[in-house]
Amino acid sequence: MNAENPEAERRGLGSVLRGRQVAAILADVLRPATTQQLELDGSDLTEVNAYGAAVLRAAMETHLARNPSQGVSVIEPANSECWAHFSDLLGLPAGQRWSWSGTRSGAARGRNVLIPATIIRDSEDAQLIVDHAIPTAAGALGYGARTGRLLQEAAAVFLDNAEQHARSRPVRPVLCVAFHPPSNDLQLVSANLEDPEDLAVATATHLHDAITRSQLAHGALDDLAGRRRGDLDFTVRLISGTGRARRRSDEAWRVLDEPERFPGFVAGLEVHR
């Protein structure tokens, strides 16, 4: 409960919504609320990237799917720069069961977000994003044709993988594409959360096996991560359970376990600028 709105239960998003911090806030967002309204407090946020936005959006949607009578409101960051970026990353809540709290007026649209965190409901959504939205946004924002095509391929591969392996999950995958100024990376992220009843803890061993299978079969993931694209420098990253894997251009896969368990699957592409 909170003093301003006793009908709402407030949970903090912390100050940084990226990397390891995302797994930490996720459990809190997914915890069932006891009131009709869940308030996610982003007022302390100073930094958020495409990974944070995609996972937060997937968590919000999962929470709403599990709690059909509840709504979610998000309290805007006090930091103006972060508010502008966060607002672009989460997009417009029109027609959905979440909303901005209204403590701040709308932020000016920036040029760093190509695709806001978007739920991909079916293969038509996926094709629309892959075939049209990504190349249009990448072209309009001045990214080269090769970068645009790499983003398209990554989105197609990640969303196809999500479709194949996540049919039983209550919430469809979320895709987000945005430039992250602090790292100077263009990031494309697909996030899928698991149904808690289907929890199978993925580890580095599982990811290693999946990568090896893809390498042996010249599969789409191996093609995406391992094939050179002119002079583009990029990294493909996978996160599932305690397993973490990444491969940067011209390097081998690095796979390891981390203590934080991520309840789902995240696939990301980072184009280093």
Partner 1 sequence: MSVKIQRYDLVKHGRVLATRPLGREVGRAASDILADSDGLLLSFYKVDVASPGFLSEVVNALRGTLMSTDDRWLLLTGMNEDVRESVELVLQRERMALGELEHDQIELLGGSSQLHETLREAQKMGTFTAPDLAERLNLKLPALHQRLSQLLEAGVLSREDDPTATRGKRGRYTAPNPRDVDDKDRQDTGEINAVVVA
Q: Which residues bind partner 1 (CB under 8 A)?
A: 127, 130-132, 135, 145-146, 148-149, 152-153, 155-157, 160, 217-220, 223-224, 227, 229-230
| CB closer to partner 1 out of 90 and 126 | 126
| Rounded Cα distance, 13 and 237, in Å | 23
Decide whether 45 or 154 has the Cβ nearer to partner 1: 154
Cα–Cα distance for residue pair 28/13, rounded to 1 Å? 9
**Is beta strand 113-119 parallel, antiparallel or unpaired with respect to 174-180?**
antiparallel
d(CA 182, CA 215): 33
Residues 171/193, Cβ–Cβ less than 8 Å: yes
Q: How far is the CB of 171 from partner 1 (least distance, A)?
A: 23
Cα–Cα distance measured from residue 58 to residue 212, given in angstroms and rounded to the nearest whole number: 28
Helices (H), 78-230: 80-90, 123-128, 134-140, 145-165, 204-216, 220-226
Nearer Cβ to partner 1, position 155 or 189? 155
User: Which residue number, 16 or 189, has a Cβ lying nearer to partner 1?
Assistant: 189
Nearer to partner 1, 38 or 151 (CB): 151
Q: How many helices (H) and strands (E) does the chain have?
A: 8, 11
Nearest to 120 by CA among 49, 68, 191: 191
The distance of closest approach from Cβ of residue 267 to partner 1 in the complex, given in angstroms and rounded to an integer, is 13
* CA 253 from centroid of its chain's CA atoms: 21
Residue 108: CB minimum distance to partner 1, A = 31
Kindly state the smallest distance separating residue 230's Cβ from partner 1, in Å: 8
Nearer to partner 1, 130 or 193 (CB): 130
Q: How far is the CB of 162 from partner 1 (least distance, A)?
A: 12
- Minimum gap (Å) between residue 129 Cβ and partner 1: 10
